Structure 1
Amino acid sequence: MDVKPRLSIEELKRLERNEKNADRARRLRIVILAIEGWTAPAIGMAVGLSRRICQRWVYRYNDLGWEGLDDRRGRKPQSPLTPEQEAAIHLRIESGPNDKDEVCSLRGKDFQRILADEFGLLRSLSAVYHLLHRLGYSYLRPRPRHRKADRAAIEAFRQQWPEKLKAIAAEHPGKRLRVYFQDESRFGQQGTTTNVWAKKGSRPSALRQTEYEYLWVLGAVCPETGHAEGLLSPQLNTKIINIFLQQFSQTIPAEEHGVMVWDGAGFHTSKQLKVPDHVTLVQLPAYSPELNPIENLWHYLKRHFWSNRAYQDYDALEEAAMAAWQRAVLDTELMKTVCAAPYLKRASSD
């Protein structure tokens, strides 16, 4: 099949990789295969469509370009809400329940009532869920937030981060900055549970240990490179932090300067803290775990490795901690994803 040169094959492949709509991604694959010289029957076999449908999408692409791969299913459904009502519902959803709602979390039935009482719209429960999804909402479990968290200070840290990074770079000319996020997590016999596959309608059970042996896992991860350093310890104090800093500093190449971002725990601010020359410490605002992406690593390790299990003693805990670290944390590509820091434009500087 002939394909008009509207976009380069590299650009089409990039669009296919980034496309979230499965149907449109398959249509892009049809065009890409046609450009590569595949016949219509071969493309149909590859993508699971008929020869004629594959030809039709190539013709649409030739006529209209990238936009021709969109669906044409009549008029776009009309919203039951005016733009003003949509804005008001967005505000109502994001404001959360009020005293009149008498619940701690709004569910479908609550929104059904709100639409009727406050907006004069009578909708079935399924229509209410459809509306919520169309407005871009899902029912998600929130991250815990400390009641003393200072939202202004947290936002100021985000805004001031680029300038802070520039100031550190100016103090160390000729060095490439490499930013790490550091934290500690306790892992022990006070177990947790995680999801399992089970029959619909059933309530599966899982082992949860309730004994008292534990150890500390100290870690630091660079979101840009995925490089991580860790230390296991039966206790946590300034002495252990100094050992960790010393070991961490030995991994920093001579042409780089390490920036370690961590919280304000007492052993992070102690006067006995010994900071290596080629490491700069940056303290996060109080009660702001959402700014520290290594928090996601602890959740990942618990969900994938440390839950639904029992450990005989400290040695068993240590073995399990090391096995999980080797399996997951030494995978640099995985760490780039798990510990991504989206609020930072980049986690290093030239």
Structure 2
Amino acid sequence: MADDIERVGLRLQLLKQQAAAGDIVLLYGDESEALTHPYLARVWAKSGADLRIPAPVQAKKIAMLGSLDHRTRQLIVHTSRTKRSSDFIAHLEQLDRLYGPTPGQPTKPVVLIEDNGPIHTSKLSQAALAARAHWLTVEWLPRYAPELNDIELVWRDLKAHHLAHRTFVNADALDQPIHDAVGDLNLERKPVPLADQRLSA
């Protein structure tokens, strides 16, 4: 396991260099969830305490299937009530529109980093990935190695700073705020062109 993590880690460093040079598009893919009950951020509590507010109804959730563009730092998210292979394919269709081949336009190779979760390795998902093999390559992460996936920190940032301390009456009311939060997050993370920076004497 340690050897696999080291090997993939070295491979990811090479891919990052290629993405930084503009030779490829490098995407980190993963899934997470948002809850109708609030996330608590920056609060005092005893170590190990459950940082949740008691509520009379059970929390509902929305699945977030996303990819993080390594170079632009932009997060692309598909939301769903479920977390199934069909939802992963719906997210792949988002990537089609953003990175897939366009007639008359040059296309950069895209490398998608994914774990070996069942929604990625199902027959349905494998067929969808195979249909995109002419422009999309998957780099599979070793099991139990979330530290190799850069999107993990972005999920944490999204929940702790953009969805924290808010309660939603139901899952329907949560869906649009997720997309609004992703938009705000991407705006914060958007690189500032050097020409737009103002330097004082």
**Partners of 1:237 and 1:267 within 8 A in 2:** yes
Question: How has the CA–CA distance of structure 1 residues 223 and 161 changed in structure 2, closer, same or farther, with 3 Å as cutoff?
Answer: closer
Question: How has the CA–CA distance of structure 1 residues 249 and 284 changed in structure 2, closer, same or farther, with 3 Å as cutoff?
Answer: same
Question: How has the CA–CA distance of structure 1 residues 305 and 227 changed in structure 2, closer, same or farther, with 3 Å as cutoff?
Answer: closer
Secondary structure of the 1:251 match is helix
Instruction: Return the letter of the residue paired with 1:302.
Output: K
Structure 1 distance, partners of 2:164, 2:174, is 12
Give the counterpart of 1:267 among 109, 116, 119: 119
Structure 1 distance, partners of 2:123, 2:146, is 24
Structure 2 equivalent of residue 208 of structure 1 = 53
Structure 2 distance, partners of 1:317, 1:177, is 34
**Structure 1 length normalisation: TM-score?**
0.44
**Partners of 1:207 and 1:308 within 8 A in 2:** no
Structure 2 distance, partners of 1:152, 1:302, is 32
Secondary structure of the 1:235 match is coil
Give the counterpart of 1:311 among 162, 165, 168: 168
What residue ranges of structure 2 are gaps of 5+ in the alignment?
45-50, 192-201
What residue ranges of structure 1 are gaps of 5+ in the alignment?
1-149, 169-174, 199-205, 335-350
Shift of 1:326: 1.3
Structure 1 distance, partners of 2:160, 2:72, is 23
Give the counterpart of 1:235 among 51, 59, 82: 82
**Partners of 1:208 and 1:310 within 8 A in 2:** no
Structure 2 distance, partners of 1:332, 1:308, is 22
Select the structure that is richer in strand: 2
Q: Is the counterpart of residue 320 in structure 1 residue 177 in structure 2?
A: yes
Structure 1 equivalent of residue 186 of structure 2 = 329
Alignment of 1:74-113 (within 5 A): none
Question: C-alpha deviations, 1:131-152, integer Å up to 9, x for none?
Answer: xxxxxxxxxxxxxxxxxxx333
**Partners of 1:209 and 1:310 within 8 A in 2:** no
Shift of 1:308: 2.4
More moved, 240-249 vs 183-192: 183-192
**Partners of 2:30 and 2:66 within 8 A in 1:** yes
Instruction: Return the letter of the residue paired with 2:6.
Output: E
Shift of 1:270: 1.1
Structure 1 equivalent of residue 157 of structure 2 = 300
Q: Is the counterpart of residue 222 in structure 1 residue 73 in structure 2?
A: no
Shift of 1:209: 5.3
Shift of 1:237: 0.7
**Partners of 2:74 and 2:190 within 8 A in 1:** no
Question: C-alpha deviations, 1:293-316, integer Å up to 9, x for none?
Answer: 100011101111222222111122
Question: How has the CA–CA distance of structure 1 residues 195 and 256 changed in structure 2, closer, same or farther, with 3 Å as cutoff?
Answer: same
Structure 1 equivalent of residue 147 of structure 2 = 290
Shift of 1:329: 2.5
Q: Is the counterpart of residue 257 in structure 1 residue 102 in structure 2?
A: no
Structure 2 distance, partners of 1:292, 1:161, is 10
Structure 2 equivalent of residue 158 of structure 1 = 9
Q: Percent identity?
A: 24
Structure 1 distance, partners of 2:34, 2:181, is 12
Question: How has the CA–CA distance of structure 1 residues 269 and 207 changed in structure 2, closer, same or farther, with 3 Å as cutoff?
Answer: closer
Aligned length: 170
**Structure 2 length normalisation: TM-score?**
0.74
**Partners of 1:183 and 1:262 within 8 A in 2:** yes
